[in-house]
């Protein structure tokens, strides 16, 4: 009989819209600069280079109804609204959600300048808020994607503004990892990323999907 040194942590999971079931999350992969206008605002060439990835731990997930805490070690926390793909058995996309890639932008800038990894800037605790998962095909590939802070629009775009489509992203990720059921892929963000302060109310939407809303709690 196996004896644990301490109890294993619970498996992070997303609620599935319209059911009492949940989607267990194995890991979180993210695509950088997948909208041309956002690539420009980050100082990059938005021509069609191969997509690049970074990751967040599964326990960075924050589900709808839970408010993340403003993280330590930053004075420049940024929001990035994203379409999230959920991978099912067989490695295909089985569902979709609205996500927000929270970023410690000052740490990311310092890492870029030094040619170092982005882990501390992207993969910190509570850095991956995500709404409920809608199973099936994406309702509208041209759907509007939007993020508001305190009722003011910050990011607006359309999913078909992506440089790489979700299907193409999945294929490329499958060349780098063995994708398995429970993987989530954040597919990139439109232009308009910007800072968040403690107390800010964030509402992120994609037409046809369950919205994501949260308030940034003070430390």
CA end-to-end distance (rounded Å), the chain? 42
Rounded CA-CA distance 76/176 in Å is 31
Rounded CA-CA distance 55/96 in Å is 18
pLDDT of residue 205: 98
pLDDT of residue 74 exceeding 80, the answer is yes
Rounded CA-CA distance 190/140 in Å is 17
Q: What is the mean pLDDT of residues 189-212?
A: 97
Tens of pLDDT along 109-146? 999 999 999 999 999 999 999 999 999 999 899 999 99
pLDDT of residue 22: 98
Of all residues in the chain, the percent with pLDDT exceeding 90 is 89
All domains in the chain, ordered by first residue: 13-215 (3.90.850.10)
Q: What's the token pair of residue 54?
A: 């970074």
Tens of pLDDT along 13-61? 999 999 999 999 999 999 988 997 656 666 666 667 788 899 999 999 9
Rounded CA-CA distance 23/101 in Å is 19
pLDDT of residue 164: 93
pLDDT of residue 88 exceeding 70, the answer is yes
């Amino acid at each position: 009989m196996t004896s644990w040194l301490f109890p294993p942590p619970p498996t992070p999971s997303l609620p599935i819209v319209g059911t009492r079931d949940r989607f267990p999350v194995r890991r979180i992969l993210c695509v950088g600069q997948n909208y041309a206008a956002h690539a420009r605002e980050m100082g990059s060439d938005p021509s069609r280079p191969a997509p690049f990835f970074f990751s967040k731990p599964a326990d960075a997930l924050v589900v709808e109804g839970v408010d993340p805490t403003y993280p330590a070690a930053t004075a420049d926390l940024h929001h990035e609204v994203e379409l999230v793909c959920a991978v099912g058995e067989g490695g295909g996309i089985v569902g979709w959600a609205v996500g927000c890639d929270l970023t410690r932008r000052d740490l990311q800038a310092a890492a870029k300048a030094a040619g170092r990894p982005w882990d501390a800037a992207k993969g910190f605790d509570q850095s991956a808020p995500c709404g409920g998962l809608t199973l099936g095909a994406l309702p509208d590939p041209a759907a509007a994607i939007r993020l508001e802070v305190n009722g003011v629009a910050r990011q607006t775009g359309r999913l078909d503004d992506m440089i790489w489509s979700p299907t193409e992203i999945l294929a490329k990720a499958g060349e780098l990892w063995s994708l398995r059921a429970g993987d989530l892929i954040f597919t990139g963000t439109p232009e308009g990323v910007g800072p968040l302060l403690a107390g800010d109310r964030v509402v992120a939407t994609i037409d046809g999907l369950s919205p994501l809303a949260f308030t940034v709690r003070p430390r």
